[in-house]
Structure 1
Amino acid sequence: MAVTARLGAVVACVVLAAVAVAPRRAAGILDPVDFLALQAVWRSLDDMPGSEFFDGWDFTADPCGFPGVFCDGDRVAALALGDPGRGLRG
């Protein structure tokens, strides 16, 4: 029984150590260059009539949670700013 308890304690310590050193992005922390670039995009574009797409871009929150913003770690990896159902046809 003592060996099992000791083994359980060792496993718990290893798991806690792995979690403690695992790389993770702190909520709300985005690379400053990407943050400023998103603000520039937001300022330079307008929603289409009837759209509230950019209303979801609240810069007091984590930009990686914005509609159309996809992040990889602390960097913006992609933007999807258009409606995929609407082509650029005339």
Structure 2
Amino acid sequence: MATVLMNEIELKLTYNYIEQPVTNIDHSNNISFKLGSSTNSDNKFDKELNKLVRKGILTKVYDFVDGGFREGLYNFADGTAQISFFGNNHMNYNLSYNY
């Protein structure tokens, strides 16, 4: 059973991409930016998540789809924060930074 951290910031309406992110919240900002810039033909959100997993910045706790509904939880490598999301498609996720 995964533990979800209780402090939460809802990430939405992010208009700036941080080219050289340093902190977990910087990376979270960029994930939110990519979510907002995703389209049906280009899901930038998953590309950003996968990039951070490949770099070892995030680790996937779970990410599943059930009946068109998706829910995911990713831990930051330093263990102090998480990214969580749920919703019915890549443009309608409720995205949160948990710390």
With normalisation by structure 1, the TM-score equals 0.30
Q: Which has the higher contact order (CA 8 A, sep 6+)?
A: 2
Structure having the larger proportion of residues in helix: 1
CA radius of gyration, larger in: 1
Quick check: which one's strand share is greater?
A: 2
